[in-house]
């Protein structure tokens, strides 16, 4: 899934993202607006992960969709 597809389908994917990263709030998911970099940044903040680890998690999640 590319960046444009992620942005276009974000409203449908928010539920899946919430299941994967339950500590992210609905407001945060709304603010992310399908932006992959914003998602990675929020995961880093909430879970205290390194950027590379957060990026890997997001890529794995997107590949499963």
What pLDDT, in 10s, does the model give residues 17-51?
A: 999 999 999 999 999 999 999 999 999 999 999 99
| pLDDT, position 32 | 96
| pLDDT, position 3 | 82
- CATH code of the domain containing 51: 1.10.1470.10
Residue 35: domain span: 3-64
Q: How many domains does the chain have?
A: 1
Say if CB 43 and CB 54 are below 8 A apart. Answer: yes
| pLDDT, position 65 | 86
| pLDDT, position 4 | 87
What is the pLDDT confidence band of residue 15, given thresholds at 50, 70 and 90? very high
Say if CB 62 and CB 1 are below 8 A apart. Answer: yes
Whole-model pTM: value is 0.93
């Amino acid at each position: 899934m590319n960046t444009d597809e992620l942005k276009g389908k974000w409203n449908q994917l928010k539920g899946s993202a919430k299941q994967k990263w339950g500590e992210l709030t609905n407001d945060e998911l709304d603010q992310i607006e399908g932006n992959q970099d914003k998602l990675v940044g929020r995961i880093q903040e909430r879970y205290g992960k390194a950027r590379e680890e957060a990026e890997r998690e997001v890529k794995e999640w997107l590949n499963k969709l």
